[in-house]
Amino acid sequence: MRVAHLSDVHLGYRAYSRTNEHGINQREADVMRAFRAALRAVLQAAPDLVLLTGDLFHSVRPSNHSLITAYRYLLDLQTQRRGAPLVIIAGNHETPRTVESGCILALLTHLPGVQVVYDQITQIELPALDASLLCIPARGVGELEQRIIEPNPRFRWNLLLLHGLLEGVTPFALERPIDRQKIVREEWDYIALGDWHLYTQVAPNALYPGATEFTSTNIWEEAGKPKGWILYETESRTHEFHQVPTRPVYDLMPIDAGELTAAELNDAIESRANALEGFEGAIVRQRIYNLLPEMRGQIDGELIRELKTRALHYHLDLRPPQLGFRAGRGTPPPDDAESEARLTLVDEWRLFARNYPLPADLDREQFIELGARYLETRSGEVPNGA
Ligand SMILES: [Mn+2]
């Protein structure tokens, strides 16, 4: 059986102020374009089964535009697949805090061949494929401890779908990681995972395809990594990763301003940007470490405005000496040999807030970005003007 596995599409994600010719936030449009590209490639691959493992929508109440787009794209896919099975589980982003609020994904059950699980751990049987799918949506993760998770021996193929972070998958510590031993087992023909935005093979039969665009809280950690979907073959337990074109994200080499004059600093900013092929329309971050407060005002405003116009988003990340690391020529502070890896206050905030329990209808990304903006303002960020 051939399975196409997509995850974390985040329709309705918005960022920055730029809009396209239809007045739609450019990043929102990018996310939709990536989804459409992925679905076209999926259709061409003609899989027996399509899986969407959570966070199809970025929020509990997506905009009409996101809803209409998702409905239209999936209706088109399912019409062309003649209603072949498509199974969707809910992620944390589209799961409301209370069961009574319902879940917008229920709308999609009216499409031909589509089944949706957004509440409890649920088994879906697909007799035509001789397959059983045990589905664990975001809300079902809490049930895991009291449940025995096992395949259904009446079916040839047994798949496990889960939206959640397994222990050991993220570089940062998780508050409540999911027990890997409980999930990652040989007895499953495929374990389709969602929630982690980077393509990751946990085991030959357990994979995160990652997101289809850059929609994480800290996209800089993902710069240069591919986005796409997985085509998996249950017979051989092998897979192919299919990349989807996205808007490019670049995290430029940091500049150590410690021993630079204002002119040298401005030259460095300009040459780093100009050396980047594909700077136009990209999402770019330039970090500047060891920037003394008196140098901040000497950054060429004209140059920065020009860079902000050429890129989709140019983020100048200014860090004063006490917060940044001391690269190369600077003297490292004592007992800080690993200072290159040291996080800024804003990065630490983002990591902390990523896992901090919040009310489900509070938009986590907005909450995190608001906090980050406050911190950045304090540490000398040049305001974006938007
Ligand atoms: Mn997600």
Say if residue 19 is in the same domain as residue 126.
yes
Cα 57 to ligand 1 centre (Å) = 9
Q: What is the pLDDT of residue 327?
A: 46
Cα 53 to ligand 1 centre (Å) = 9
136-161 burial: b if 16+ Cβ within 10 Å, else e = bbbbbbeebeeeebebeeebebbbbb
Q: Ligand 1 (ion): which residues have CB within 5 A?
A: 8, 55
Residue 235: burial class (beta carbons within 10 Å; 0-12, 13-18, 19+)? exposed
Cα 8 to ligand 1 centre (Å) = 4
Q: What is the pLDDT of residue 356?
A: 67
Rama region for 16: left / alpha / beta (φ>0; ψ in -120 to 50; rest): left
Number of domains in the chain: 2
CATH code for position 103: 3.60.21.10
- The residue segments making up the domain with residue 64 are 2-243
Answer yes or no: is pLDDT of 362 > 90. no
Task: Convert the pLDDT of each residue in 107-164 to its tens digit.
Answer: 999 999 999 999 999 999 999 999 999 999 999 999 998 999 999 999 999 999 999 9
Cα 357 to ligand 1 centre (Å) = 15
Mean pLDDT of all residues in 351-369: 73
Q: What is the pLDDT of residue 74?
A: 98
With residue 4 as reference, give the H or E element that holds it: strand 2-6
Where among 243, 262, 289 does a domain terminate?
243
Which two tokens mark 286? 């330039």
Q: Are 74 and 26 in contact (CB under 8 A)?
A: no
**Residue 134 forms part of a structural domain:** yes
Mean pLDDT of all residues in 90-105: 87
**Residue 15 forms part of a structural domain:** yes
Cα 197 to ligand 1 centre (Å) = 6
Cα 257 to ligand 1 centre (Å) = 36
**Residue 357 forms part of a structural domain:** no
According to DSSP, the residues that pair with 230 across neighbouring strands are 5, 241
**Residue 6 forms part of a structural domain:** yes
Cα 204 to ligand 1 centre (Å) = 22
Say if residue 10 is in the same domain as residue 68.
yes
Task: Convert the pLDDT of each residue in 247-265 to its tens digit.
Answer: 999 999 999 999 899 999 9
Mean pLDDT of all residues in 13-17: 93
Cα 381 to ligand 1 centre (Å) = 28
Cα 163 to ligand 1 centre (Å) = 9
Which two tokens mark 101? 């609020």
Cα 164 to ligand 1 centre (Å) = 9
Cα 54 to ligand 1 centre (Å) = 7
Q: What is the pLDDT of residue 363?
A: 78
Mean pLDDT of all residues in 229-234: 98
Say if residue 70 is in the same domain as residue 96.
yes
Specify the higher pLDDT residue, 376 or 330.
376
Where among 243, 273, 295 does a domain terminate?
243
